Chains A and B, each alone.
Chain A
C-alpha cells in the first residue's frame, strides 16, 4: 500500500543542487511528508518534514506543491557524502508508524 512514488535512482553532479521528486497523490490533509536518507551501512538519518508549507533546515529544503500531491527535496550543494538512498514517507498526524518504501538511490558524481 505504497503511499509515495519515487524514481528508483538518479545521478547528481557534485556542487550542484540535487532535486529529488516524490509523488503522493492520495495524501490526506492530516498527513505529513517526511524525508530520511540512508548512507551505506548506517541507520536512516532524518532530514526534514512538512505538512503544507515549504520547509528549510541546515540539511535541505522541502518544497510541497499547493495541492500537496507531490514534493521535492532539495540538497542545495550536493557533495559525495550525500550519496545515499533517500526515502519519502507520508505519515498520519498523531500516528507513530513510519512506512519505508524503496526510496531513490542518489549517486553524487565528482
Chain B
C-alpha cells in the first residue's frame, strides 16, 4: 500500500524535554533506517534495523539518542534531554531486504527551542 509514514510531521519542543518520533515502514519491508538532515546539510546515517538482527547503531550521535523497532515493523526514535543542536529533519526509510532499494518517508521536522 502506502509509502513510509512518519509522525509527527512537525515537532516543536523545549530544550531538555524528551521526544519520540515514529516511523511506519512499507508493509513487508524487513529493513529500516533512520537518518538526520540538519539545515542545509546532507543526510547523516543514524541507525539501521534488519529483521531480528542486532541493529547497527554506529551513527547515533550520543547516548541521548535511542531507537527501537517493535515486532519488526514500527520504529520509534527517542531523543532524551533535547538540545538545540538536535533540531533537524529526521528521516526514516525502509527496504524489502538488507541490500535492496530504500524508500524514504517525508520526515519529521524537529525544532528545539
Q: Which residues of A from 78 to 104 have beta carbons under 8 Å from B? A: 93-103
B111 to chain A, nearest CB (A): 14
Interface of B is mostly: strand
How many B residues have CB within 8 A of the partner chain?
22
- Please list 16 pairs of residues, one from A and one from B, whose beta carbons are closer than 8 Å in the complex, sorted by A's number: A34-B101, A36-B104, A44-B93, A44-B104, A46-B101, A46-B102, A49-B101, A94-B98, A94-B99, A96-B33, A96-B56, A96-B95, A96-B99, A98-B45, A99-B45, A100-B35
Other A-B pairs beyond A43-B104, A95-B99, A99-B45, 12, CB < 8 Å: A43-B106, A43-B107, A44-B104, A45-B104, A46-B101, A96-B31, A96-B95, A97-B48, A98-B33, A98-B45, A100-B35, A103-B42
